[in-house]
């Protein structure tokens, strides 16, 4: 298990590997942690990674607590991206985190595969982006 801040760093590193050269259908051109909007000048598609609240304690013993933290990973495409592109991005993100692998073989330790959610938002009037948002949850142990 990893401490909370280490999960964010590891998640960003893993998402940076989502490139067509590495066997993925999606070619992420940037991964931005703690970003609510696409940074100026960012190339698309890119990923915005944020911690969803709350980060909860699920159990504790002495000076340690087991916690669960949920992240939103929003893959942002230009207006007009197809459902096929969004589905591919969803699959690529989950695959790069180790979804579908045995717990000890996953690239991201602590991934809870039973708590995963995906939503799609197609560009509407006044919006320049089409997005797929993936919610993933990790369990980790924090020592106090």
* DSSP letter for each residue of 75-112: EEEETT--HHHHHHHHHHHHHHHTTTS-GGG-SSTTEE
**Per-residue pLDDT tens for 110-136?**
999 887 899 999 988 778 899 999 999
Count CA atoms closer than 13 A to 132's CA, side-chain side.
Answer: 26
Q: Is 36 exposed, middle or buried (0-12, 13-18, 19+ CB in 10 A)?
A: exposed
65 pLDDT more than 70: yes
CATH classification code of 4-143:
3.30.70.1700
Q: How large is the average pLDDT for residues 68-73?
A: 96
pTM, two decimal places: 0.92
Q: What is the mean pLDDT of the chain?
A: 92
Parse the chain into domains and list their residue ranges.
Answer: 4-143
Which residues are 133's β-sheet partners? 74, 119
**Given this model, what pLDDT does residue 104 score?**
86
What is the rounded distance in angstroms from the CA atom of residue 130 to the CA atom of residue 120?
Answer: 8
List pLDDT tens digits, range 92-110.
999 999 998 888 898 888 9
């Amino acid at each position: 298990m990893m401490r909370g801040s280490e999960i964010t760093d590891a998640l960003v590193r893993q998402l940076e590997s989502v490139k067509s050269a590495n066997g993925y259908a999606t070619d992420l051109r940037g991964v931005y942690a703690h970003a609510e909007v696409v940074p100026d000048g960012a190339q698309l598609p890119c990923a915005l990674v944020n911690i969803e609240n709350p980060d909860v304690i699920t159990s504790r013993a002495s000076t340690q607590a087991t916690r669960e933290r949920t992240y939103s990973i929003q893959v942002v495409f230009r207006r007009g991206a197809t459902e096929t592109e969004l589905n591919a991005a969803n699959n690529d993100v989950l695959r790069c985190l180790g979804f579908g692998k045995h717990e000890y073989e996953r690239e991201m330790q602590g991934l809870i595969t039973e708590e995963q959610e995906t939503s799609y938002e197609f560009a509407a009037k006044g919006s320049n982006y089409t997005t797929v948002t993936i919610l993933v949850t990790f369990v980790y142990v924090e020592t106090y």
